[in-house]
């Protein structure tokens, strides 16, 4: 990659373009992803409306190559801050060019300005390319997250 990507704030007027790209991201992670009504109505607004989140377009060569969502969280139990990288998406035709790595290095530098005790993220099961990227940047696996799906409500 010849030039660093630019991280450009996603603005409220970018809603339609962002949601379209986010849907593609989640479909790649889970081919059965179908946006629920609350996701359609609130996902973008909740991100944009939270001052602790930073949502950025990843721009390279004048084109949107993806997006990254990151932020600073208060520790649940201690007087500490934690950096978090929530989502990273690079469009397929821009992958394997060093864009994700360069973008993440910029974001880590920005997060470290808030002096977090750590920076954390999650990698979906089976996403070995993402896991390799994060490990190459110094992230270590420290836990495994288990989730129990909600039982469907019975309508009578």
**Complete domains list, the chain, with CATH:** 6-136 (3.40.630.30)
Helix locations, the chain, DSSP H: 15-29, 37-48, 99-112, 128-136
**What is the pLDDT, as a whole number, of residue 1?**
53
Distance separating alpha carbons of residues 114 and 81, to the nearest angstrom: 8
Q: Write out the chain's pLDDT in tens, 156 residues.
A: 557 899 999 999 999 999 999 999 999 999 999 999 999 999 999 999 999 999 999 999 999 999 999 999 999 899 999 999 999 999 999 999 999 999 999 999 999 999 999 999 999 888 999 999 999 999 999 998 899 988 887 777
Cα angle 95, 101, 105; round to 5: 150
Kindly report the backbone phi and psi dihedral angles of residue 84, in degrees, each rounded to the nearest multiple of 5, phi listed first: -140, 135
Burial level of 90, CB count in 10 A (0-12/13-18/19+)?
A: buried
49: Cα within 13 Å, side-chain hemisphere: 5
């Amino acid at each position: 990659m010849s030039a660093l990507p630019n991280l450009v704030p996603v603005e409220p007027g970018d809603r339609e373009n962002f949601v379209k790209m986010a849907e593609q991201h989640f479909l790649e992670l889970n081919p059965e992803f179908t946006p629920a009504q609350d996701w359609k109505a609130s996902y973008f607004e909740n991100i944009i409306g939270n001052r602790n989140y930073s949502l950025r377009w990843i721009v390279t060569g004048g084109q949107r190559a993806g997006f990254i969502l990151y932020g600073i969280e208060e520790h649940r139990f201690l007087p500490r801050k934690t950096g978090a990288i929530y989502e990273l998406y690079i469009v397929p035709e821009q992958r394997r060019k060093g864009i994700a790595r360069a973008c993440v290095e910029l974001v880590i530098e920005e997060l470290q300005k808030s002096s977090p005790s750590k920076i954390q993220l999650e990698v979906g099961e089976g996403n070995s390319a993402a896991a390799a990227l994060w490990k190459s940047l110094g992230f270590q696996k420290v836990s495994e997250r288990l989730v129990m799906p909600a039982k469907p409500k019975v309508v009578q």
